[in-house]
Amino acid sequence: MEQSIENKLIIADKAFSEWKKVPFEERQKLIAKAAEILKANSEKFGRIITTEMNKPISESIAEVEKCALMMNYYADAENILKPEKVESEFAYSEVHFVPKGVILGVMPWNFPFWQVLRFAVPAILAGNTIVLKHASICFGSGNAIENVLLEAGFPEGVFQNLEVGHKVVKEILEHDVVKGVSLTGSGKAGGEVASIAGLNIKKSLLELGGSDAFIIFDDADQEEAAKAGVKSRLQNCGQTCTAAKRFIIDEKIEGDFLPKFIEEYKKYEIGDPLDKETKLAGMARADLADELEAQFNRALENGAEIIIPLERISDNEFKPGLIRVQKGNPVLKEELFGPLGMIMIAKNDEEALEIANDIPFGLSNSVWTKDKARQLFFIENLESGTVNINRMTSSDPRFPFGGSKASGYGTELSLIALKEFVTSKTIVGN
């Protein structure tokens, strides 16, 4: 490892020895200040995001504002890390929540501010310090976040952006001062990083891909479902882990719903990412577009039918596509991380559930029905970290966020995230 990177790890460790003593409420004040800076400069930071990964500028600004909202949630959060008394026969009988130390974040490019801050803010509030290995196309975002936190008054070393490629992650994670890792990204990267963490007995948290179902029944508000479904699939050019990727339609409304859905889909046209009116722009990298095109072709070779062709119009731009997929198509085992949706038809509730669960992932699903009994059936039986009823998935700082099955493990957001990178230390005796 380069000396400059090792030096940063040492700085993070030194910072930890002081930061862990700072009271929770003092940490919260700094988080509130950082939120204020983000909000006041959302256009400036939005431009950095768009320039790095092509997201439409209106979405980039909204991302920065959502970070501020999340940080205000933690700035006002109840301190659940205070020592807890336990009823027992002992004089000492309590649990302390002790921060672990330096935590590594390995973060992706699809939400360059949100993914980083969603992980870092609760970890820092719990008393840890952070080193970030951001996606290689997002070092500007990483540096901007570091500067916001410094400007807000966080001590040097509490959060540092390391400009390194992924090959260095192993050495960083193996370093003695690093005590855990949180990774958001592909299953491949997640598996490799978690295995290094495991071999070194270090805590890991994984937020990986998904292939969420969006299930629409005959008693749903079809207009609203069509709008929300298309937005969920195509915002951020389809590069969202919790995007609706498989639309499972009740066969009774196929003829009614599908035309509405297609009409809505066609409203998303490629534009200049820096224009505030643009709803769809290019993908983040040309190799990701190559991969999506290859998946589209493989899906067709395995029997998928074209509803709207996926048309490549430049290195990284597509006119969004829609395909009808039958059970058994191998593409259903993959994540389609771009503007390509899948339509599936279900005969009844049981079949809709079976299709929804028949994938390796378990991130978040969305069910559209007004029938309470049906809502409960899906709430109880869908295998995913989140179930939305009559709404598209959109994470909210107040609620836990995380996946099941191959979508990962561990919890981000909500008060629960405060306890991800702490050790529960038992104090007992007389």
- Are 210 and 357 within 8 A, CB to CB? no
- Listed ranges 84-92, 132-140, 313-321, 380-388: which one lies at the site for ligand NDP (CB under 6 A): 132-140
- Listed ranges 185-193, 251-259, 299-307, 316-324: which one lies at the site for ligand NDP (CB under 6 A): 185-193
Catalytic (active-site) positions: 207, 241
Binder to ligand NDP among 70, 81, 288, 299 (CB under 6 A)? 288
Q: How far is the CB of 155 from ligand NDP (least distance, A)?
A: 25
Q: Classify 155 as helix, strand or coil.
A: coil
Q: How far is the CB of 135 from ligand NDP (least distance, A)?
A: 4
Q: How far is the CB of 111 from ligand NDP (least distance, A)?
A: 7
Cβ proximity to ligand NDP, 182 vs 414, nearer residue: 182
Closest CA to 134 of 154, 152, 157, 160: 160
- Listed ranges 8-16, 42-50, 161-169, 415-423: which one lies at the site for ligand NDP (CB under 6 A): 161-169
Burial annotation 204-233 (CB, 10 A radius, 16+ → b, else e) = bbbbbbbbbbbbbbeebebeebbbbbbbbb
User: Binding string to ligand NDP for residues 228 to 247, with x set by CB under 6 A, is what?
Assistant: -------------x------
Rounded Cα gap, residues 122 and 413, in angstroms: 8
* Residue 63 touching ligand NDP (CB under 6 A): no
Strands 244-250 and 212-216, bridge-based pairing: parallel
Cβ proximity to ligand NDP, 165 vs 255, nearer residue: 165
Rounded Cα gap, residues 57 and 65, in angstroms: 12
Binding positions for ligand NDP, 195-214, rule CB under 6 A:
208-209
Cβ proximity to ligand NDP, 27 vs 246, nearer residue: 246
Burial annotation 325-341 (CB, 10 A radius, 16+ → b, else e) = beeebebbebbbbbbbb
How many residues sit close enough to ligand NDP to count as binding (CB under 6 A)? 24
* Residue 107 touching ligand NDP (CB under 6 A): yes
Q: How far is the CB of 351 from ligand NDP (least distance, A)?
A: 27
For Cα atoms 37, 42, 43, give the angle at the middle one, nearest 5 degrees: 135
Closest CA to 175 of 185, 164, 186: 164
Binder to ligand NDP among 5, 77, 106, 323 (CB under 6 A)? 106
User: Which residue type is seen at 65?
Assistant: E
Radius of gyration of the chain (CA): 22
- Listed ranges 18-26, 178-186, 221-229, 416-424: which one lies at the site for ligand NDP (CB under 6 A): 178-186
- In 118-262, the DSSP E strands lie at 129-133, 159-162, 178-184, 203-207, 212-216, 244-250
Q: How far is the CB of 117 from ligand NDP (least distance, A)?
A: 14
Where does this chain bind ligand NDP (CB under 6 A)? 106-108, 110, 133-136, 165-166, 169, 184-186, 189, 192-193, 208-209, 241, 288, 291, 335, 337
